[in-house]
């Protein structure tokens, strides 16, 4: 209870700061400030909102999400997809792919797939040829990757660099790792973020409904290293709000993230 009161106080102070800034800011700032205030994080604490969970998995100790088919499904190191979940409407976006024909990694859910095509087309008109590297990954495939990492590098290493089965965004069918054509040096490398293509994605992906899911400087919040190549589809409205506020999905939802005291 004491902890709750402290959290409440801090949040009130934060909201207070926001209000001051709103008074000084531009119209755009006011809208953002209003959006922040509308979120009322302290009420979220108090009212115990729908966290979109179906309870805790006794085997893993993680929340099991119950809105796995939503474009806003939220998984991280605290939250997992139901065991064996396969997304509906997986489809292959008509873009350049790194993986061979017929490979599941080419797939995304339909809405995300169409958005990816639009993003890649826009980049192309700016002279940047993007390539889809790795999208959908099945529960079983993630299980195999994780088990192999635990066996070869140990549990701690595996937990830091790979996702437990059920907690990978790639299993949602809403995430795609991307790169730029003709520069394999930056493939799935943080240096991709410094390329023209990496910068283009960082500044424009939100217009097509994508966010950089694991941004630089937010590692303690997301629980993952900086991944400038990992795009997550959330739809244009939420992507825009996250982009303008420089948030992560964790900060957008405001609960269940590794860097947050519980
Ligand atoms: Zn990824």
186-206: pLDDT as tens digits: 999 999 999 999 999 999 999
Ion ligand 1: residues, CB within 5 A, are 177, 230
Q: Is residue 21 part of a domain?
A: yes
Across 29-34, average pLDDT: 42
Q: The tokens of 135 are what?
A: 């999208």
Can you tell me the ipTM of this complex? Answer: 0.99
Across 245-249, average pLDDT: 95
Distance CA 120, CA 95 (A): 7
109 and 209 belong to one structural domain? yes
Q: How confident is the model at residue 22 (pLDDT cuts 50, 70, 90)?
A: very low
Across 132-155, average pLDDT: 93
Q: Is residue 25 part of a domain?
A: yes
pLDDT at residue 64, rounded to an integer: 93
Quickly count: other Cβ atoms within 10 Å of residue 78's Cβ: 20
248 and 140 belong to one structural domain? yes
109 and 238 belong to one structural domain? yes
176 and 234 belong to one structural domain? yes
Q: Is residue 180 part of a domain?
A: yes
Q: Is 227 in the active site?
A: yes
- Dist. CA 118 → ligand 1 center (Å): 19
Q: Of 19 and 224, which is predicted with more confidence?
A: 224
pLDDT at residue 53, rounded to an integer: 86
Residues 6+ apart with CB under 8 A from 1: none
- Dist. CA 230 → ligand 1 center (Å): 4
19 and 121 belong to one structural domain? no
- Dist. CA 71 → ligand 1 center (Å): 17
187 and 105 belong to one structural domain? yes
Q: Is residue 64 part of a domain?
A: no
- Dist. CA 49 → ligand 1 center (Å): 29
Residue (of 176, 141, 149, 146) closest to 60 by Cα position:
146
CA 215 to chain centre: 9
Of residues 68, 169, 227, 241, which has the active-site annotation?
Answer: 227
19 and 108 belong to one structural domain? no
Q: Give the chain's mean pLDDT.
A: 83
133 and 212 belong to one structural domain? yes
Task: Check whether 1 has a pLDDT greater than 50.
Answer: no
- CA 137, 113, 231, 250 dihedral sign is negative
Q: What is the CATH number of the domain that holds 114?
A: 3.30.1380.10
Q: Is residue 30 part of a domain?
A: yes
pLDDT at residue 60, rounded to an integer: 87
Characterise 149 by phi-psi region: left (phi > 0), alpha (psi -120 to 50), beta (else): alpha
Q: Is residue 43 part of a domain?
A: yes
Which domain, by its residues, includes 102? Answer: 90-253
- Dist. CA 146 → ligand 1 center (Å): 14
- Would you say 91 and 109 are in contact if contact means Cβ atoms under 8 Å apart? yes
pLDDT at residue 256, rounded to an integer: 64
pLDDT at residue 244, rounded to an integer: 97
10 and 129 belong to one structural domain? no
């Amino acid at each position: 209870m004491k902890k709750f009161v402290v959290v409440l106080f801090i949040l009130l102070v934060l909201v207070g700061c926001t209000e001051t800034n709103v008074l000084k800011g531009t119209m755009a700032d006011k809208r953002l400030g209003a959006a922040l205030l509308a979120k009322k994080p302290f009420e979220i604490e108090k009212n115990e909102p729908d966290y979109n969970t179906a309870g805790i998995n006794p085997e893993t100790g993680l929340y099991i999400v119950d809105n796995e088919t939503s474009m806003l499904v939220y998984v991280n190191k605290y939250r997992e997809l139901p065991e064996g979940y396969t997304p509906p409407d997986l489809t292959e976006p008509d873009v350049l792919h790194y993986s061979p024909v017929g490979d599941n990694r080419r797939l995304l859910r339909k809405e995300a797939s169409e958005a990816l095509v639009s993003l890649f087309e826009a980049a192309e008109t700016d002279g940047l040829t993007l390539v889809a590297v790795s999208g959908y990954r099945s529960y079983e495939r993630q299980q195999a990757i994780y088990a192999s990492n635990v066996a070869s590098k140990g549990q701690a290493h595996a937990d830091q660099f790979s996702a437990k089965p059920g907690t990978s965004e790639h299993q949602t069918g809403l995430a795609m790792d991307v790169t730029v054509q003709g520069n394999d040096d930056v493939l799935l490398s943080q240096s991709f973020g410094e390329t023209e293509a990496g910068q283009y994605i960082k500044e424009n992906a939100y217009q097509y409904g994508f966010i950089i899911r694991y941004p630089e400087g937010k590692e303690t919040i997301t629980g993952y290293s900086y991944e400038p190549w990992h795009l997550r589809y959330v739809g244009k409205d939420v992507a825009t709000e996250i982009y303008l506020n420089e948030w992560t999905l964790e900060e957008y939802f405001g609960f269940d993230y590794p860097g947050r005291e519980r």
